[in-house]
Amino acid sequence: MRLEKELENNTADRIADHALEIKSKMEAQLAELGAMLAGLGTEPPSKRHSPERRRHARPNPRGLLSPAQRKHREPAVDPDTLAAQEGRLPPIYENKAYPRATMK
């Protein structure tokens, strides 16, 4: 009888110890999150430059290439070919020369 009581007490002690460990870990995480939240408003805002200044700050690298170099660098892809490569249907072209086909 006495051994059974000791076994029950030992089990209860282990459960209580485990619960206290979890509690201390959660309190540490809560303190860390509180510190993070406290620091949210203290960061300096990012510097914003006017579009005029940005435009003159550095030249556009595309502007330095000749049209032949740009064509070689960025080959034009036919929309039908691109659609086939992506596994979707090709676009339907509609304009005055090629009107929409209606079902009659």
Query: How high is the pLDDT of residue 33?
Result: 92
Q: For residues 49 and 55, what is the distance between their CA atoms, to the nearest angstrom?
A: 10
More reliable by pLDDT, 85 or 74: 85
pLDDT digits (tens, 9 = 90+) for 51-66: 665 555 555 555 566 6
C-alpha distances in angstroms, 100 versus 16, 68, 78, 80, 83?
Answer: 76, 36, 21, 18, 20
Give residue limits of the domains in the chain. 2-37
Highest mean pLDDT among 7-16, 25-34, 81-90: 25-34
Q: Is the pLDDT of residue 29 over 60?
A: yes
Looking at residues 66-92, what average pLDDT do you find?
A: 73
Q: For residues 15 and 23, what is the distance between their CA atoms, to the nearest angstrom?
A: 12
